[in-house]
Each structure stands twice: as C-alpha cells, then as structure tokens.
Structure 1
Amino acid sequence: MSVGLPVGIFFGSLVLVESGSWAAAAVVLLVLTPFYGIRTARRMSRAWPGAKDLTPADRAAVVRATRRGEGIDDARLAPAVIDYSTGLRRAAERDRLIPWVILLVTVLAVALALYDTFRGSTGEAWASWLLVALCLAELTWWPRKQARIMAGAQRAERPARHALHG
C-alpha cells in the first residue's frame, strides 16, 4: 500500500486532468494501486528474500545503513546488509534496459504532448507535458541516484563482511 497507493493516486489524478472523468480516475486508482503494490512487494521479496526474517525495525536499519554506505551498529544484522547489497546489485542488473524503454516513452510522450498542445484540450496538454517532464526527470535523476545507492551498498558491505568474518 505504501508504494501502490501513491502511484494509483498520481496516475488517477493524471487521468482526471486529461479526461475530466472521475470514473476513469477511480478505475485507474483501483487497478494500479494493488497491481503496483503487489508487483513491488514481489520484486523486493525476490531481490532480498532474507528480509522476511527481519523485524520491520531491523529491515529499516539494514536498508538505511546500506543505502547510506554506513556500517551497521548491530553485528547480527551484518549478513542482512550483505544480502540486501547483493539484492540491489541483482535488481540493477535486471533493470539495465529500463533507461532505453524510458527514452522511447519520452520520445513518444513529446510527440503526444506536441499533438495535444495543438489539437487537444488544455487538460490533455498539461497532462502530456507533465508526463514528458517526469520522463526527463527519470532519465536524468535516477541514474545518479542509483549510482549513489550502489556506491553506498558497496561501502556498507565492507564493514559488514568484516563483522561477519572477524
């Protein structure tokens, strides 16, 4: 719910702005929220299967330390840091084609936005240009963010391995 609901609300709002239909926005909200939430939960459980064995507080501590590149205070969580770091690397490898897909979507979104600007309603044009802006942000922001996360995971893994092996 913490991931699916914001996605459903956001895209439902886009549909509302573009179409003016509350019914269509509600359908998008009701379909995307569980779909995206379940997809994200399944993806994370495959990338980091050991997370299910941790308490929510321990999971949060591991994620925070690993993404920030810090050592973990609790030595018993060292294997979880290594496991999570490995999961992040696997997920990054699986997602290496995503930037190309986003680039294609961006090109198509620009074409649609231009069409909507000259032929569509004001709401359609706004929604289309917002999608272009989001795609451009994804193309520029995410690679830098991912590089920082991966560097942090590598830094956090060293002290975790040291704590694990003495």
Structure 2
Amino acid sequence: MLLVPGWMWQRGPATRAVGAGLAAGAFLAAFVLIEAQSWPGAAVVFVVLSLFYGTRVARRMHRLWPAAKDMNRADRAAVVRATRRGEAVDDPRLAPAVVEYADALHRAADEDRLRRWAVLLVTVLAVALAVYDTVTGSTGETVASWLLVVLLLADLMWWPLRRDRLLARADQAAEAAGRDI
C-alpha cells in the first residue's frame, strides 16, 4: 500500500489489482529471462505473479483502507494525493478520509516493519548466491544475481528513509485535516 502510487487509487479495485500485478509480474519475469534465458519460464512467472501479487495488493489495500470503496474515484485520488504530499485537502468533507488514509499508511508501515528481518536474511543469501554465480555461473546468472543484490540493498537503505518521509507527510496532512473536522 505504501508503494502504490496515487494515480492507481483513481481506478477501481480490479484495475488496481491488474496494475500492481502486471508491474510485479513483468519485473520478475525479466529476471527469469535474464538469468535462465527461458521465455516459457518468464511467461509462467509473469502470469502467476501477476495474478497472485495483484490480488494480494488489492485485498491488502481494501483491508487497510476499507472506506475507499465508498468514495468516488476523484475524491479517493484527491485524498491520496493530499495525504502523500502532506497537504490539506481542498474539500473539507474529505478531511476524515485523509485521517483514515494516513492511519492506513501507518498500519501498512507497521506490518512491513515486522517483515524487514526477512529482507535482511534474503539480502545475505542473495550476496552469497551472487558470489557463487560469479565464480561458477553464466553471465546471465551473474548479472541477475548482482542486480538482485543491488535492489535488495536499495530496499534496505533507501526505502526506510522514503517510508519515513511519506509517513511524516501523512501526519502533516492528517493534522491539517483534523483542524477541518
């Protein structure tokens, strides 16, 4: 939910699921294609991950911010945009939704913080695999392995700072909205 861009909230739940699923499926299918040079394998990864990840994202978004389903697309997008920017929402009737969305972002961040140890473990394993692939693997395996290490390290170092800035802006928006309620 933290990574879902504001423009995706303008869409309905099915379109949000498809958008998130296709992005993840294409990204990870590209890894399969680079490493294994297998079009059928990449196609399977694309289809399976697109379906499962898209469904998971849509369900999580609904669970964390159920009030979004009762809002029209323009209002939902306005709330998300204002909250992510840390601004007051233009329409005072949307102020409670800003507070709800900010709370949903905090709940999502809290859930994700519980999983950070898994990212650290996967990073350590990915470094070991990248070293092994560098010594014994093909060029495609080596490139894919080190690319994965770079992405995981970025996730460990860059994402917490970005997440904290997003949550600080959400708090600013919620505080501004609280004055309008």
Match of 2:34, as an amino acid?
Answer: V
CA deviation profile, 1:48-89 (whole Å, cap 9, x unmatched): 111101111111111111011100000111111011011111
Aligned with 2:47 (options 27, 30, 33):
30
**Deviation at 1:98?**
2.2
Q: Which residue of 2 aligns with 1:163?
A: 180
- Over aligned residue pairs, what C-alpha RMSD do you find? 0.8
Moved over 2 A (4+): none
Identity of aligned residues (%): 59
Alpha-carbon distance between aligned partners in 1 of 2:179 and 2:24, rounded to the nearest angstrom? 39
**Which residue matches 1:7?**
24
Question: Is there any run of 5+ residues in structure 2 with no aligned partner, and where?
Answer: 1-17
The separation in 2 between residues aligned to 1:139 and 1:29, in whole angstroms, is 25
Counterparts of 1:95 and 1:126, CA distance in 2: 28
Aligned equivalents of 1:60, 1:112: Cα separation in 2:
42
TM-score (norm 1): 0.96
| Gapped regions of structure 1 (runs ≥ 5) | none
Taking the aligned partners of 2:145 and 2:114, their CA distance within structure 1 comes to 24
Aligned twin of 1:145: 162
Aligned pair count reads 164
* Matched residue, 2:140: 123
1:97-136 matches, cutoff 5 A: 97-136=114-153
What TM-score do the two structures reach when normalised by structure 2? 0.88
In 2, Cα distance between equivalents of 1:152 and 1:72: 13
Equivalent positions of 1:31-110 (< 5 A) are 31-110=48-127
